[in-house]
Amino acid sequence: MRPVIIAGNWKLNGTIPETEVLIKGLLDGDSNNEAATVVVCPPYPSLSYAHQMVTGTHIALGAQDMSQHDKGAYTGEVSAEMLLTVGVRYVILGHSERRQHHAETDQLVNAKAKAALAAGLIPIICVGETLTEREAERTEEVVGGQLDGALAGLMTDQLRLSVLAYEPVWAIGTGKTATPEMAQAVHRFLRNRLAQNDPAAAEVVPILYGGSVKPGNAHELLSQPDIDGALVGGASLKAEDFVGIINAV
Ligand code: PEP
């Protein structure tokens, strides 16, 4: 059985007072669904405060990125160890916005994944094609290449601890969602690709779908056999909507 994970990527949203309101909304709302692991990923400055709020609750903490380095002259960077000290358990890596705005490559995502796993964080590794790539029927080539690149050289036990997220770039923040059938087809492709290297990993690694997931479409997406949860952007910023998605599991 793979765990079902509903993770909220707050992106560049969430001052400490806003974090307090949002997490309080999740704790007061009906967000404790035993069928799902709930993860919130606020910006770095809010992590410590968020940790105090979620300690002892059903909510786990994630970060939106991290450095591949442990320490040193890397201005602006945050290490895996630093994240661990503020209670972070998950870290989103290779989000398309990092790839697009910060020129992150598969090689860099791979280095970050190795650093995260070595430190004891669970990476949520994102892959996804642009609209141009989909229209050119290159989806499998693109996401397959991203998957291979991000996971290159991971040890078997590390691979089996990882989480993947399929996030078609054209569906992120656009209100356009992949149909459940489209998403399922790519999730199945990714699972088969994992199985080529490690059949056991293909059985246990959760693959989340991300891209305009809302309470109204979550159930159908999450009912697909290879969709093991959701990575949620916009709808994770409203407690009511995020709770609606959690309860769609
Ligand atoms: C995301 O940023 O990971 C995401 C899926 O965003 P949204 O839900 O807003 O499309």
Per-residue pLDDT at 1: 78
Structure tokens at 183: 């998403």
Which residue owns the Cα nearest ligand 1 atom 1?
A: 233
Q: What whole-number distance in Å separates Cα of residue 110 and Cα of residue 201?
A: 17
Per-residue pLDDT at 176: 86
Q: Dmax over Cα atoms in the chain, in whole Å?
A: 48
Per-residue pLDDT at 134: 95
Identify each DSSP E strand in the chain by its residue range.
5-9, 37-41, 59-63, 90-93, 122-127, 163-166, 207-210, 229-232
Q: Partners of 229 in the beta sheet?
A: 5
* Residue range(s) defining the domain that contains residue 175: 5-246
Q: What whole-number distance in Å separates Cα of residue 72 and Cα of residue 74?
A: 6
Which residue owns the Cα nearest ligand 1 atom 8?
A: 233
Instruction: Find, among 38, 85, 42, 41, the residue nearest to 59 by Cα.
Output: 38
- Residues annotated as catalytic (active site), given as ranges: 95, 167
Which residue owns the Cα nearest ligand 1 atom 7?
A: 233
For the beta carbon of residue 215, count every other beta carbon within 10 angstroms: 17
Residue 165 belongs to a domain with what CATH number? 3.20.20.70
Q: Is the CB of 168 under 6 A from ligand 1?
A: no
Q: Is the CB of 233 under 6 A from ligand 1?
A: yes
Specify the residue for token string 């691979």.
Answer: 159
Burial (Cβ within 10 Å: 0-12, 13-18, ≥19) of residue 142: middle
Q: Is the CB of 9 under 6 A from ligand 1?
A: yes
Q: Is the CB of 167 under 6 A from ligand 1?
A: yes
72 CA to middle of ligand 1, Å? 32
Which residue owns the Cα nearest ligand 1 atom 6?
A: 233
User: Can you give the pLDDT of all 249 residues of the chain as single tens digits?
Assistant: 799 999 999 999 999 999 999 999 999 999 999 999 999 999 999 999 999 999 999 999 999 999 999 999 999 999 999 999 999 999 999 999 999 999 999 999 999 999 999 999 999 999 999 999 999 999 999 999 999 999 999 999 999 999 999 999 999 988 888 899 999 999 999 999 999 989 999 999 999 999 999 999 999 999 999 999 999 999 999 999 999 999 999
Per-residue pLDDT at 169: 95
Q: Is the pTM of this model over 0.75?
A: yes
233 CA to middle of ligand 1, Å? 3
Per-residue pLDDT at 245: 97
Q: Can you give the C-alpha Rg of the chain in angstroms?
A: 17
Which of ligand 1's atoms lies nearest the C-alpha of 213? 8
In the chain, the number of structural domains is 1
At residue 13's C-alpha, the angle toward residues 211 and 11, to 5°, is 40
Which of ligand 1's atoms lies nearest the C-alpha of 126? 3
Coil vs helix vs strand at 135: helix
